[in-house]
């Protein structure tokens, strides 16, 4: 009997970072049995320093099984993982960029929009890792629209987004649409949309569980996402749905904006402008499953 892999993962408590780690662990578990231990890192640097100097950090970790891999996502977790690797062994895996030299880590998995330098210990991914699995169970008459809100990268315009949603729902009236907001969506957004159609359902993000979005993406043949919600765009593409990107004016040409434009140019996502011409969405040009690709790369090292 093969012993399970023991994984320690260091978290700063941010949902996006935890989602990346869980996606990677889930993908590793597709190959072998895994035991994972979550290790929260205090928000306060002083609190973490006290934990180190008092020995509390080491006493806590010494109670766990020796790790095969240690994973960190979020700048606050990197030094904690490096210290733990030095004292307890295992291979260190960094997700996303770090302020520390990448040669200090055994492996680094970094999205291409962060423009990492090439290296034997570096895997470049298209977008950040996520927990979404490719689905073969999409329902033909099921559509999902995911609305974001103000961001650093795009000028949010509720009226513009609402007009686009109205056009999509009116054109595809045979599809049962579900529209969901996010924590960044303006409070009056749904009020302006409620006159759309009896076939449209509205879902408040505060009323959803962690499983809601993966379940919806697994069922939805068509998915529209506002461009500020970059992580959701990659999640929708990973699900294998036909994905459209709603239109907003960009604030600048930065790595996030360029990443969205690359998805469109590669045929992974249709722009709203393209949809206006064809009134159709196409499935991604190739299947994206970066968490599984990363897991395969790790286990091959």
- For residue range 163-190, what is the model confidence (pLDDT) as tens digits? 999 999 999 999 999 999 999 999 889 8
Instruction: Tell me what the mean pLDDT of segment 114-142 comes to.
Output: 92
Q: CA 266, CA 285: separation in Å to the nearest integer? A: 7
Residues 113, 54, single domain; the answer is: yes
- 118 and 11 in one domain? yes
Summarised one tens digit per residue, pLDDT across range 46-90 is 999 999 999 999 999 999 999 999 999 999 999 999 999 999 999
End-to-end CA distance of the chain: 22
For residue 253, what are the contacts with CB-CB under 8 A and spacing of at least 6? none
To the nearest 10 degrees (0 to 180), the angle between helices 230-239 and 212-219 is 50
Residues 94 and 204 in one domain: no
What is the per-residue pLDDT for 1? 57
User: Are 115 and 181 in the same domain?
Assistant: no
Give the residue from 81, 97, 129 where a domain finishes: 129
Q: Does 120 reside within a domain?
A: yes
Q: Would 284 be classed as within a structural domain?
A: no
Q: For the chain, how many structural domains are there in total? A: 2
User: What is the band of 269 on the pLDDT scale with cuts at 50, 70, 90?
Assistant: very high
Residue 184 located in a structural domain: yes
Does residue 293 lie in a domain region? no
- Would you say residue 301 lies in a domain? no
Q: Does the residue 297 lie in any domain?
A: no
66 and 87 together in one domain: yes
Verify that 73 and 171 share a domain, yes or no.
no
Q: How confident is the model at residue 7 (pLDDT cuts 50, 70, 90)?
A: very high
Q: Among candidates 193, 185, 191, 194, which has minimal Cα distance to 157? A: 185
Nearest to 268 by CA among 289, 231, 239, 243: 243
- Can you give the pTM of this predicted structure? 0.91
- Tens digits of residue pLDDT in 278-287: 999 999 988 9
Mean pLDDT of 138-163: 95
- Return the CATH number at 242: 3.40.50.2000
Q: Which residues pair with 11 in a beta bridge?
A: 40, 73
Domain range for residue 255? Answer: 139-278
User: Which token pair is 256?
Assistant: 């996030």
Q: What pLDDT does 113 receive?
A: 85
Return all residues near 107 (Cβ < 8 A) that are at least 6 apart. Answer: 91, 92, 93, 94, 121, 122, 123, 297, 298, 301
Residues 28 and 143 in one domain: no
């Amino acid at each position: 009997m093969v012993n399970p892999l023991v994984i320690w993962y260091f978290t700063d408590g941010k949902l996006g970072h935890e989602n990346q780690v869980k996606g990677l662990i889930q993908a590793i578990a597709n190959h072998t049995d895994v035991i994972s231990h979550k290790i929260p890192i205090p928000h306060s640097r002083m609190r973490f320093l006290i934990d180190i100097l008092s020995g509390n950090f080491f006493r806590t970790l010494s109670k766990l099984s020796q790790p095969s891999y240690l994973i960190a996502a979020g700048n606050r977790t990197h030094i904690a993982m490096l210290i733990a690797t030095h004292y307890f062994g295992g291979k260190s895996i960094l997700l996303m960029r770090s302020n520390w030299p990448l040669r200090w880590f055994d492996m680094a998995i970094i999205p291409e929009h962060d423009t990492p330098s090439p290296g034997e210990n570096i895997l470049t991914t298209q977008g950040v890792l996520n927990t979404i699995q490719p689905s073969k169970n999409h329902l033909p008459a099921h559509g999902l629209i995911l609305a974001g809100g103000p961001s650093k990268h795009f000028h949010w315009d509720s009226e513009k987004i609402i007009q686009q949603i109205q056009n999509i729902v009116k054109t595809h009236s045979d599809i049962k649409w579900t529209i969901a907001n996010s924590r960044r969506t303006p409070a009056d957004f749904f009020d302006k949309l409620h006159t759309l159609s009896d076939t449209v359902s509205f879902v408040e993000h505060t009323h959803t569980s962690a499983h809601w979005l993966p379940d919806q993406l697994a069922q939805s043949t068509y998915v529209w996402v506002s461009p500020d919600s970059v992580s959701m765009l990659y999640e929708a593409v990973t699900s294998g749905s036909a994905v459209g990107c709603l239109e907003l004016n960009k604030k600048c040409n930065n790595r996030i904006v360029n990443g969205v434009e690359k998805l469109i140019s590669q045929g992974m996502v249709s722009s709203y402008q393209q949809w206006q011409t064809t009134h159709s969405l196409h499935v991604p040009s190739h299947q994206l499953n970066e968490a599984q690709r990363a897991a395969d790369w790790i286990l091959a090292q």
